[in-house]
A and B are shown apart, each in its own frame.
Chain A
Amino acid sequence: MAAPTIRSLRSPLGRVRGLGAAKGGTHHWWMQRVTSMALLPLTIWLVFALARMPDATWQEATAWIGRPFNAVLLLAFLAAAFHHMAYGLQEWIEDYVRGELCKVGALLVIKGACFLLWLSATLAVLRIAV
């Protein structure tokens, strides 16, 4: 093994700054926590609500979605969940995908898919509720 050398006068911290997988600061980490805290009550509500209507007819399902209380919580869940999902999948890509082109490409695909899915579901809820 070659003798170790340092060819830079900058400190190790200065040299690694901005070179981590995410390139950025703590905003991503913090928003993942904020959305997770919002999702905690919303998920418990949604899972038990859906468990109580396995054989719901179309009339029953749309009536349930259309109730203002349910519609508001559904919209809140969708916003928080897709935000959280996009950030979580972003972490996978940043950690496991090598190569700038693949990484940025995969990130754009993930973010685009999450945005379109969120938009579709939100429109569906609004269309039923309004």
Chain B
Amino acid sequence: MSKITDAREALMVGRRSDGSLVRRPLSPHLQVYDMLQMSSALSITHRITGALWSIGMVFLVWWLVAAAAGESAYNGAMWFFGSFIGVLGLMGLTAVAWYHTLAGIRHLYWDSGRGFEIPTMYLTGRAVLIGTAALTALTWLIMLITWI
């Protein structure tokens, strides 16, 4: 028996209904998809925002550890978060967090076996985008009102 190291090998050869062997076509990869389609674009964005949120988690850990370490460490962290790069980063991370949260709800809805029809898929996709914009704006509005 030959040893298989790649799972794809096992499924590349199949049988026709008359019993003869046939080499199955390879599944399409990234290059065949139109990345401006909402379906694939939102999917890859969900992955990317998930990874970017790791940076937000590092920021949160920094903030908490600095607060526990003392006033000067806390002020140092707050100086960074209030700097141009810090504000820009946090603004981006707010959008990232809301996108991943809303797209995550969409994924949970799919996991329940619903919402796969193309019109529904476009509707929920648009809702995710509009919701992300609205909640990001709301978050920053709340922040600005508190700040000023």
Contacts and interface: CB of A to CB of B under 8 A. Distances in A.
Nearest to B100: A43
A16 B67 CA distance: 50
Contact residues on A (Cβ < 8 Å of other chain), bracket:
35 or more
A48 interface: yes
B81 to A, nearest CB: 8
A40 B147 contact: no
A123 B68 contact: yes
Interface residues of B, number: 48
Interface string B125-148: 000000000000001101100110
A68 interface: no
B89 interface: no
A89 interface: yes
Contacts of B1: 7-8, 10
A1 to B, nearest CB: 7
A123 B147 CA distance: 29
Main secondary structure of the interface of B (DSSP, over half): helix
Contact of A44 (B22, B69, B101): B101
Given A4-B21, A12-B10, A52-B146, A125 B2 contact: no
B97 A43 contact: yes
A8 B14 CA distance: 12
A44 B135 CA distance: 10
A92 B54 CA distance: 13
Dominant SS among interface residues on chain A: helix
B13 A19 contact: no
A128 B104 CA distance: 32
A51 B23 contact: no
A121 B60 CA distance: 8
B103 to A, nearest CB: 11
Interface in A1-20: 1, 3-8, 10, 12, 15-16, 19-20
11 contacts: A8-B2, A19-B7, A33-B108, A36-B104, A48-B139, A51-B139, A51-B143, A52-B146, A62-B74, A121-B64, A124-B61
Task: Identify the 4 closest CB pairs spanning chains A and B, nearest first.
Answer: A19-B7, A15-B10, A124-B68, A124-B64
Interface of B: 1-2, 4-7, 10-11, 13-14, 21-23, 47, 50-51, 53-54, 57-58, 60-61, 63-65, 67-71, 74-75, 82, 94, 97-98, 101, 104-105, 107-108, 111, 139-140, 142-143, 146-147
Interface of A: 1, 3-8, 10, 12, 15-16, 19-20, 33, 36-37, 39-40, 43-44, 47-48, 51-55, 58, 61-62, 65, 74, 81-82, 85, 88-89, 92, 117, 120-121, 123-125, 127-128
